[in-house]
Structure 1
Amino acid sequence: MAGTFARRWLPPLLIWVAAGALMRWVDGQSELAHIGNLALLLVLAAALSSRWLPLGWALAVDLLAVLAFNAAFIEPRGSFLVELRLHAWLLATMLAISWSTAGLMARLRQQAELAGRHAREAERLRVFSEALRDAGDAAAQADALREALQDLAGTPARLLVLKDALPRSDDDTAALPLDPALSADQRTGLWLSARRSLAFGPGTGRHEELPEWYLPLRGRAGSGGAALIAVPAGALSPDPALRAQAQLLCDQLGLALERSATERAAQQARDAVDQQGLRNALLAAISHDYRTPLATIMGAASALQEQDERLSPAQRRKLAAAIVDESQALARMTDNTLQIARLDAPGVTLKTDWESAEELVGAALRRVRQRHPEARVRARLDDGLPLLRCDAVLLLQLLDNLLDNALKYGGEGGAEIRVTQCDGLLTLAVRDRGPGVPPAWRERIFDVFQRGSAVADPERPDAATRRGAGVGLAACRAIARAHGGELRYRARSHGGASFECRLPLPAPNELPMT
């Protein structure tokens, strides 16, 4: 309070004291003692003091200054009488100029205050817009609006922010948690403002007897909630510009909530389209790629059933082996297809536990050697590998698919599993010495229902007839990404392919106690 008083009244007081002293000094100098010079000093003091004084005070002080000038310097001195008409005109002109200057200064102060207010409002809107842009969810956006409203009005602000669409009836569970200090009437007012997209309270023309403003969070298609702002204390007539600024902030949040809802709906639509496209692709694969193993199984089973007596033991064993091989291939394609469909669905959760890389590799070797006892499969693992938080069934399926591909397309060099750790990553690499994959196909082979065998090795006549639906590598990449990792292809320097699954390792303090 003392600082405000000093800033407002001390400068004009010093100006008038200095002007009075200067006029006394000039009046004592014979060569300067002219009534016009003294009048100019008074007008200058009036103009300078008007920079700080309110208009009413400036007019009063100017009038008192002219009267004092009359008594001190106009003959007869010591009274308010004026002998000459010229002096009367001089006093009137001095008062008119002083009052005009005071009016102009007051107008300039008003314009400067208005410009400053507009600048503060623009800055507040800019800061709030940046806060909305950076806020990740509706709760963070609501906090940003609450802070902006409280800073603007200087009074508490409370919000009703809907989570989704406006419910049929007032249901607090459909909104973000409300302030428990809200009364039943205030809750009703917030819901009514949100439903009607109308403002209530002083100056709105609706329920002006209320001690608060109820402002809707308006979007283009409706309201995403409402805000309650207590009218500043002592305000007999609340500032409509303040309410307009608060409404503008509320509308910004309403538009942001509407954009978020539109983005969620668009994402849901895209997810639905993707899922439908995946379903269609899976149905196409089942209807096409599954026919060959099913036809082989049915043909072998029919031959065993209808011609059993005419078949030799070797022929029966061959047919039985064909049934087993094709059944295993069909089961693998089914598992891979189902994993792609499951892992590509939004919100999927894995059944993770702490697993040993050594045990995962050992289980994968046992499975592949049961199917291919004649194959050459080796494994090399770094010492001291940490435990891995993962879904063991999925990672075992990933290794199984990669080993099967290495043995299928890698030629007679066999396959190798190499496990290393570096820079917080565990790398599971399956390598072979086959022809590799051409550069144009090194990313396409990870797409669903893409088979690169014929392109990778066109000189081998059996390449195009290899069994598969093109889902194995796609399933492997989906498994790697579901674990927060990535599956990549790398061409080996001396020939062959290396499919490398890189998975993030847990921090040392996250590892289980042993």
Structure 2
Amino acid sequence: MTSQQLKRTGFALTIWAIAWAAMTLLEHKLDLANLAMLLVLASALSSLWLAGWASMLVSSGAVLAFNWFFVPPKFTFTVDIYQNALLLLALLLVNWIIAGLVIRQRRLTEAARNLADQEVRLRQWGDTLRDASDPAAHAAALRIALQEATGTPVAVSVLRSIDEQTEKTAALLLGETTDEQRSGLSLCVREGNAMGPGSGRYEQLADVYLPLRGRQVTLGAALITGLGGHANGLQLRPHLQALCDQMGGALQRSLITAQEQQAREQAQLQAVRNALLAAISHDYRTPLATIMGAASSILEQGDRMEADQRRRLAAGIVEESERLARLTDNTLQLARLDAPAVTLRCDWESTEELVGAVLRRIRRRPDGSRLQVWVEPNIPLLWCDALLVSQLLDNLLDNGLKYSPADTLVELHAKYDSEFLVLTVSDRGPGIATSWQEKVFEVFQRGEIAPSTSNSHVDRGAGVGLAVCRAIARAHHGELQLRARGEGGCLFECRLPIAGGGPPLPTAQVPEVQT
């Protein structure tokens, strides 16, 4: 007997002791009927703490004791008056009725408590699975929940892939099982139906098998050992199946999400392949033809050419090679930035150093002298991937130099504006038609030149550079936009957040740069 049961029995015996003491003291002051009321009251109160069978047994003994001590003739079980016999019979029946009602109420209370526990268990289990990125990792939690609900050993089998449904063994098995039980789990998964006593299938089994059901698919099974002989086995089955179905639904959602992610990655990979093929088929041919023509001319006729002619052909080879290299870098970088969970190699960088490195590369070009740069002093260090930001500036400046007249300037400004580094590249070229000012940032979209200009003969690029620039800006949680410019040409504005969640912002103490 547990301490709780001992305490409840102690309360009941105390009530009976008080009742008998009261009846003994009031024997000569109250008639027999009123003394019987004390007996009924004691029986009703004690039944609240005693078990049902114990309450009925104690009540029967109390009636016999009442007859022995209080009903004339005393100290005998003989009853002389019929009224006394009726009183004793009524006492016995009332005590039994009270005990029966208490037993019924206890059962109803226990059933309500079990329903509340089941509801709480289902809600908590649903919350656990809703926030789970990998529901299969919670198979142990499902096993514990089933064991708590039944009090019997449980084993859980979980598939990690929908394709494994036809396999003979599950990918994950928790709990001790025999060969026969493992075969039962595998059969339950394949058929997708409960098995065992009360299920209508394989009733001769001693254990119960419950499927982890999703929508039109079964992704595992649970083995409840000995549930067929459990006192509340039939009442528990719907609750246990609900727990298993929640797990099955979560597993299916997780697997579908993984398949969708894999499909997106495959689609992105295919898009990269298509982009590379498009770049090769449309944009690699012209520079390759130029390189091959110039190289073959130097090889076959180099001895008969003048030095200036050979120099022009060599410069053409270098220029077209740089164009190919830039197109390749942009295409590969765009593919990398479009990949999920891309990781940038960020560090604290000085804006002056970033701009200075780009300026040195541009100055080596024949038209590099047209570039004018202004960097605002005391700009805080930028948390960024230096190679990507340099590539962004290279592409914007290359576009400006390519599309603007040879006698005009291309300007690069860098300034600090409310926790953002603002980089603007402006030119006085033909501009971009209004209808193309957003499409121009899409891959392989070559914007239409504004109709009011006369530079429509300019060779347009591959349509990758600006797409890469916007992808780089957004990878740094910034934005790149094309702004209207009243005096003609284009003005690209890139806003990059200075801080990336790192240490306190350092400040680069640099002088104003203007070239």
For the criterion TM > 0.5, the same-fold answer is yes
Which residue, out of 163, 166, 170, partners 2:164? 166
Alpha-carbon distance between aligned partners in 2 of 1:270 and 1:365, rounded to the nearest angstrom? 39
Q: CA deviation at 1:474?
A: 1.4
Using structure 2 for the length normalisation, give the TM-score. Answer: 0.74
| Percent identical | 44
Distance 1:365 1:475, change over 3 A: same
Tell me, yes or no, if structure 1 residue 415 matches structure 2 residue 385: no
In the alignment, which of 386, 401, 404 is matched to residue 395 of structure 2?
Answer: 401
User: In the alignment, residue 405 of structure 1 is paired with which amino acid?
Assistant: N
**Distance between the aligned counterparts of 1:89 and 1:437, measured in 2?**
111
Residue aligning to 2:217: 222
Offset of 1:22 from its aligned partner? 2.9
CA distance in 2, matches of 1:253, 1:259: 10
Q: CA offset at residue 279 of structure 1?
A: 6.3
Q: Which runs of 5+ in 1 are unaligned?
A: 510-514
Q: Which residue of 1 aligns with 2:468?
A: 475
> Does residue 455 of structure 2 align to residue 498 of structure 1?
no
Residue of 122, 138, 152 corresponding to 1:125: 122
SS at match of 1:226: strand
Tell me whether 1:59 sits opposite 2:53 in the alignment: no
CA distance in 1, matches of 2:381, 2:416: 10
Aligned partners of 1:402 and 1:499 also within 8 Å: no
Q: Which AA in structure 2 matches 1:218? A: R
Q: Secondary structure at the match of 2:50?
A: coil
CA distance in 2, matches of 1:478, 1:133: 33
Q: 2:12 matched to which residue of 1?
A: 12
Residues 39-88 of structure 1: per-residue CA shift (max 9 Å, x gap): 33322332232223222222212212222222233222222222222222
Residue 81 and residue 494 in structure 1: after superposition, are their counterparts in 2 closer, same or farther (change >3 A)?
A: farther
The one-letter amino acid paired with 2:453 is R
Cα distance in 2, alignment partners of residues 377 and 80 from structure 1: 123
Unmatched tracts of structure 2, length 5 or more: 505-515
Residue type of the alignment partner of 1:489: Q
Pairing 1:131-150 to 2, within 5 Å after superposition: 131-150=128-147
Residues 300-327 of structure 1: CA deviation (Å, up to 9, x unaligned):
999999xx9xx99999998997787666
Assess if the C-alpha contact under 8 Å between 1:194 and 1:223 holds in 2. Answer: yes
Query: For 2:43, which of 14, 31, 46 is the aligned residue?
Result: 46
For residue 104 of structure 1, report the CA deviation from its aligned partner.
1.7
The answer to whether the Cα contact below 8 Å between 2:382 and 2:498 also exists between their aligned partners in 1 is no
After superposition, the C-alpha distances for 1:377-431 in whole angstroms (9 at most, x for unaligned) are: 4364877987978483x544323112223445788453336387997x9x58354
Q: Deviations over 1:267-295 (max 9, x none)?
A: 44455556666766776777777788789
CA deviation profile, 1:424-463 (whole Å, cap 9, x unmatched): x9x5835437699999977654333445574xx6643436
Change (3 A) 1:12 1:167: closer
- When residues 140 and 324 of structure 1 are mapped into structure 2, their CA distance, relative to the original with a 3 A threshold, is same
Alignment root-mean-square deviation, CA? 4.9
Distance, in Å, in 1 between the alignment partners of 2:232 and 2:132 is: 30
1:354·1:390 contact (CA, 8 Å) conserved in 2? yes
CA apart distance, 1:258: 1.2
Instruction: Look up the SS of the partner of 2:368 in the other structure.
Output: coil
Q: Which range is displaced more, 356-365 or 315-324? A: 315-324
Task: Provide the secondary structure at the position in 1 that maps to 2:397.
Answer: helix
Q: Is the 8 A contact 1:382 1:421 kept in 2?
A: no
Query: In structure 1, what is the equivalent of residue 509 of structure 2?
Result: none
Matches of 2:85 and 2:132, distance apart in 1: 70
CA contact (8 A) 2:268 2:339 kept: no
User: Shift of the alpha carbon at 1:161?
Assistant: 2.4
1:154-213 Cα distance to aligned partner (Å, 9 max, x none) = 566554322212165446xx725x55x856738834444434445567776467356xx6
Q: Pick the aligned partner of 1:446 from 441, 445, 464.
A: 441
Matched length: 490
Matching of residues 197-276 of structure 1 within 5 Å: 197-198=192-193, 205=202, 208-209=205-206, 214-228=209-223, 237=230, 239-240=232-233, 241-242=235-236, 244-270=238-264, 272=266
